C-alpha cells in the first residue's frame, strides 16, 4: 500500500501520469461544454442541408479533467439511412485514453424506428459529453433542421461569493443560471437573463389579492381570474333541511384562493323516530349549484346527547348533487333529540 500526493515541484509528486491528472482535474469542474449561456454557439451542432454532413461550431469543453478546443467550425459525417425506418443518432465528444485524444464522434442508432438516441457513455474508460441528437429519416442522407435537437450539457459555474454592494445588481456578473451568495445578508441569488433573483424570497401576493367583508372573501385580479370564486358565505337559508332535522348552526363558505369550500355547523334530530346504527338519512340540499362538490366527499361529525354528553362518531357525505347525508356510524340515533356537530372541506365542481 502506497500513499501518493501531487503535484509538487520536487520529489515523487513532481511528475504524474494522465490518469492521475484526470482523477485530480475532473473534480475541479463538471464535464460539459464551456459556454456562458445555452444561447452561446460553443460546440453547437447545426444542419447543413448537404448529404451526410452536420456542422459543429467552434468552442471549448471539459471531459474528465481534460480540455477540448475546436478553434474553427468543423464538418462531421454521418451514415446514410438505407432502411425503411427512421434512425436516431447522437453526436458526442469522446475521450480516448489509449490515443490520448478528445474527438467528435457520431453514435449510430439501431434504425428500428425507435426515437431514443444511443446512450451516453459515462464510464471511466471512454467518457462522453453529448452535443446533439438527430433523426435520419428512412432512405435519406440528410438531416432537416426540425430533426436536430441541441443536447449539449454545460459545465457548472459554481456559487459565486457576492459583496453587499453587488448582491442584487452591480458590476460582477453571474452566468445564466449561476448562483451567488451574499454572506452579509445571508441570501442566495440566481442569474436569470439580465437580473439577479433572490432565491427563497416570499412572494408578494398583494397585487393579486384584496381582502373584503367580514367573511374574508378574496376577489380575483388579473391572472388569477378563472381560478377563484368571490361569492360570500352561504347561510342556512340557502340549505333546505329535510325533516326531522333542524339547524343549530350551519354555513358553507368558498374561498378565492383555490377551488375549495368548507362546510361546518350543527343539526339536531328532532324526535323523528329512531335511526339504527349504520343507517343513513338525508339532512338537506345545498341550493347554490356553484357550492356543490365535483364528487362525493366524506365529512366527520360528533354526536351529543340532549345533556351535551358525547355519544359517538358520525359520518356526513356531501354528494355532487348538493345533498347532505348523515350516517349514524358507531351509535344509533334515538327518537329523543340528539345534536350532530361537523366540520370539513371539499373541492368545488365549478371554479
pTM of the model: 0.52
As a whole number of angstroms, the distance between CA 93 and CA 48 comes to 20
What percent of the chain is modeled with pLDDT above 90? Answer: 33
Q: Higher pLDDT residue, 212 or 311?
A: 311
Over residues 279-299, the mean pLDDT reads 74
Q: How confident is the model at residue 242 (pLDDT cuts 50, 70, 90)?
A: low
Q: In whole angstroms, how far apart are CA 351 and each of 261, 321, 325?
A: 11, 16, 24
Q: Span 143-162, mean pLDDT? A: 86
The domains found in the chain, sorted by start residue, are: 13-150 (2.80.20), 157-165+174-201 (no CATH), 234-347 (2.60.40.2460)
| Residues contacting 307, CB < 8 A, separation 6+ | none
Region 83-101 average pLDDT = 96
| DSSP-based three-state secondary structure for 14 | helix
User: Which of 12-21, 32-41, 123-132, 317-326 reaches the highest mean pLDDT?
Assistant: 123-132
H-helix or E-strand containing 239?
A: strand 239-241
Q: Which helix (H) or strand (E) holds 24?
A: helix 18-25
Do 178 and 155 meet the contact criterion of CB atoms below 8 Å apart? no
When mean pLDDT is compared across 59-68, 84-93, 144-153, 316-325, the lowest value belongs to 316-325
Nearest to 308 by CA among 337, 272, 281, 287: 337
Strand partners, 69: 60
The three grid cell numbers given for residue 349, joined into one nine-digit string? 365542481
Residues 58 and 44: their CA atoms lie apart, in Å, by 8
pLDDT for the residue 233:
38
Torsions phi, psi for 222 (to 5 deg): 40, -120
Residues counted in the chain = 351
Between 307 and 198, whose confidence is greater? 198
Most confidently modeled range among 24-33, 43-52, 281-290:
43-52
Model confidence at 221, pLDDT cuts 50, 70, 90, reads very low
pLDDT tier for residue 138 given thresholds of 50, 70 and 90? very high
- Averaged pLDDT of the chain: 77
Amino acid at each position: 500500500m502506497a500513499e501518493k500526493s501531487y503535484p509538487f515541484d520536487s520529489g515523487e509528486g513532481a511528475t504524474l501520469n494522465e490518469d492521475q491528472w484526470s482523477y485530480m482535474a475532473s473534480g475541479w469542474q463538471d464535464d460539459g461544454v464551456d459556454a456562458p449561456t445555452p444561447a452561446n454557439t460553443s460546440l453547437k451542432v447545426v444542419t447543413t442541408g448537404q448529404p451526410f454532413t452536420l456542422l459543429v461550431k467552434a468552442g471549448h469543453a471539459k471531459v474528465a479533467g481534460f480540455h477540448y478546443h475546436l478553434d474553427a467550425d468543423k464538418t462531421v459525417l454521418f451514415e446514410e439511412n438505407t432502411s425503411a425506418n427512421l434512425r436516431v443518432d447522437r453526436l458526442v465528444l469522446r475521450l480516448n485514453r489509449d490515443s490520448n485524444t478528445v474527438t467528435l464522434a457520431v453514435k449510430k442508432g439501431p434504425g428500428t424506428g425507435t426515437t431514443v438516441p444511443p446512450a451516453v457513455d459515462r464510464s471511466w474508460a471512454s467518457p462522453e459529453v453529448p452535443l446533439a441528437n438527430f433523426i435520419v429519416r428512412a432512405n435519406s442522407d440528410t438531416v432537416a433542421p426540425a430533426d436536430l435537437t441541441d443536447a449539449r450539457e454545460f459545465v457548472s459555474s459554481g456559487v459565486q461569493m457576492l459583496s453587499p454592494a453587488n448582491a442584487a445588481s452591480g458590476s460582477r456578473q453571474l452566468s445564466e443560471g449561476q448562483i451567488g451568495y451574499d454572506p452579509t445578508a445571508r441570501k442566495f441569488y440566481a442569474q436569470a437573463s439580465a437580473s439577479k433573483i433572490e432565491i427563497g424570497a416570499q412572494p408578494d401576493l398583494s397585487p393579486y389579492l384584496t381582502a373584503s367583508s367580514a367573511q374574508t372573501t378574496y376577489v380575483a385580479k388579473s391572472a388569477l381570474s378563472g381560478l377563484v370564486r368571490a361569492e360570500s358565505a352561504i347561510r342556512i337559508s340557502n340549505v333546505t333541511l329535510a325533516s326531522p332535522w333542524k339547524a343549530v348552526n350551519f354555513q358553507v363558505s368558498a374561498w378565492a384562493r383555490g377551488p375549495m369550500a368548507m362546510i361546518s355547523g350543527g343539526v339536531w334530530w328532532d324526535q323523528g323516530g329512531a335511526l339504527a346504527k349504520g343507517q343513513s338519512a338525508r339532512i338537506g340540499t345545498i341550493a347554490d349549484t356553484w357550492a356543490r362538490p365535483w364528487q362525493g366527499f366524506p365529512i366527520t361529525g360528533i354526536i351529543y346527547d340532549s345533556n351535551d354528553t358525547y355519544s359517538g362518531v358520525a359520518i356526513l357525505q356531501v354528494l355532487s348533487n348538493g345533498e347532505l347525508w348523515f350516517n349514524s356510524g358507531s351509535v344509533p340515533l334515538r327518537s329523543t333529540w340528539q345534536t350532530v356537530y361537523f366540520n370539513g372541506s371539499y373541492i368545488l365542481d365549478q371554479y
